[in-house]
Structure 1
Amino acid sequence: MTRPGTIWGIGLGPGDPDLMSVRADRLLRAARHVAYFRKAGRPGQARRIVEGMLPEGVDEIAMEYPVTTEIPLTDPRYNALLSAFYEDCTRRLRALSDAGEEVVVISEGDPFFYGSFMHLYTRLRDVAPVRVVPAITGMSAAWTATGTPITWGDDVLCILMGTLSEEDLVAQMRRSDALVIMKIGRNIDKVRRALRTAGRYDAAWLVEYASMEGQTVQRLSAAEGRVTPYFSIILVHGEGRRP
């Protein structure tokens, strides 16, 4: 019988290839099959990060999302379409594993941190060998770019999604010392209102394209009236106990 090949979930880090782990780099450069997620018609950020690093003749498996922002998250069709998509991706990767082939699935940031790979992992872990290579997250690169530590002493850090309701955002912002707000994009106006209501707006920073080409770091108030790109994070630093 053919021994199943391992499916590797590899985190590429926040965007700069120099911030990738040694293990991720080694596995990537020796890969025979490399899979990555992308929007239809786009190269995909993960694929963009590894440009020039893939071995000659590698089999590239582009997994194209059937939907992104075309359908509201609350629409039942959204989950149904994505579930079918992840099932199809799982079948493709498992077929390679069953044939004894190793597959590298690349992801921006860390594979276990709000990433699409998690949906493959939960479907594959009981039917195929799966291993995960952790990585630096985008938020780590973002707060490092500000030149200020994100937490001190006993500070409580809260990671929020801009997709949450305004009421939930305000409640969490008031409750926590330090904040990281992700998935901003079209939710930017709601996030701004929530920060103002919670009394945190003046302390908020906006980091776009952390560790990537085009990185910008500025006070959120300096970007008033502007829609932010997908790769942007809002930060509020903690001010906790220190010696």
Structure 2
Amino acid sequence: MRPDDKPRGRIICAGLGPGAQDLMSLRTARAIAAARHIAYFRKKGRKGRARATVEGMLPAGVTEHAMEYPVTTELHFGSDGYRQALAAFYDDWAERLTDLTRTDDVVVLCEGDPFFYGSFMHLHLRLQDRAVIEVIPGITGMSGCWTETGRPITWGDDVLTILPGTLPQDELARRLSDADAAVVMKIGRNLPRIRAALETAGRLDDAWLCVEGTMAGQRIAPLAQVDLADCPYFATVILHGNGRRPLAEIE
């Protein structure tokens, strides 16, 4: 990079938290309020959940940059075509964001916490030594979900296991059978397989499904009672721990 190409701005990745605006951090809210450029991921043809979360918060005159995924479920996530399409997508947007920082800050919106299964991680990897990066952490979606169940996720010596629902069914079952407490993410069309894994592990009756936790459309129910065809991607399966704790005094 030539001296005259040195960026004047930063790339600020703002963690939005689990979905409710009032669970956003002050630092994130201030970054959004001061933004001249806002970037966010979305599926083609959709508004995008990150953009919907900040509705009514954007300053006048802000320029929006919708980063539209080239594929989502059209190709299997393990296929060469999927990996190549996503790699080119992230390469392109890393270049575009770097160009924007030559004059201004750019705020990249990220649901939950940016470094917890967030798409921004793939940009962060590509932006090293190319831009000044600031990452603002956020409350994770899973934390919002287990809090909305009204029960602690872990007690005492409980070990919390976090699993992507894309794992093979037998591996899910093995890990769930060994878990004290667990969170399964990336649900959507994986739910029938996750339910079968829980049943194999003998944990189905302990599992709860939280859909759109902390948001207006929130639904929480025992997983065994849920219609498997009625589950969006933004859902989380919760298994609460039952570990060591002082006995409550009984009056």
TM value normalised by structure 1:
0.97
1:40-51 residue pairs with structure 2 within 5 A? 40-51=44-55
Q: 2:241 aligns with which of 208, 227, 238?
A: 238
Q: Quick one: distance in 2 between partners of 1:158 and 1:137?
A: 15
Name the CA distance, whole Å, in 1 between partners of 2:185 and 2:236. 5
Q: AA paired with 1:235? A: I
Say how many residue pairs are matched: 242
Structure 1's 46 and 225: CA in aligned 2 closer, same or farther, altered over 3 A? closer
Which of 22, 31, 35 does residue 27 from structure 1 map onto? 31
Cα shift at 1:2: 6.0
Counterpart in the other structure of 2:161 = 158
Letter in 2 for 1:128: A
Is contact 1:15–1:211 with CA below 8 Å preserved after alignment? yes
Instruction: Please say if residues 191 and 228 of structure 2, whose CA atoms lie closer than 8 Å, have aligned partners that are also in contact.
Output: no
Question: 1:55 — aligned with what?
Answer: 59
State the secondary structure of the residue aligned to 1:27. Answer: helix
- Distance in 2 (CA, whole Å) between partners of 1:158 and 1:38 is 28
Equivalent residues of 1:188, 1:227 under 8 A apart: no
For structure 2, the 5+ residue unaligned runs are: 247-251
Work out the CA distance in 2 between the residues paired with 1:219 and 1:66: 35
Partner of 2:249: none
Which runs of no fewer than 5 residues in structure 1 stay unpaired? Answer: none
Match of 1:187 in 2: 190
Give distance in 2, aligned partners of 1:103 and 1:191. Answer: 38
Q: Who is 2:207 aligned against?
A: 204
In 2, Cα distance between equivalents of 1:224 and 1:213:
20
Contact 1:155 1:238 in 2 (8 A): yes
TM-score of the aligned structures, taking structure 2 as reference length: 0.94
What is the alpha-carbon distance in structure 2 between the residues aligned to residue 211 and residue 79 of structure 1?
32
Contact 1:204 1:235 in 2 (8 A): yes
1:71 aligned residue (75, 82, 92) = 75
Root mean square deviation, CA, Å:
1.0
Percent same amino acid at aligned positions? 55
Q: Which residue of 2 aligns with 1:86?
A: 90
1:31 partner SS = coil
Letter in structure 1 aligned against 2:207: A
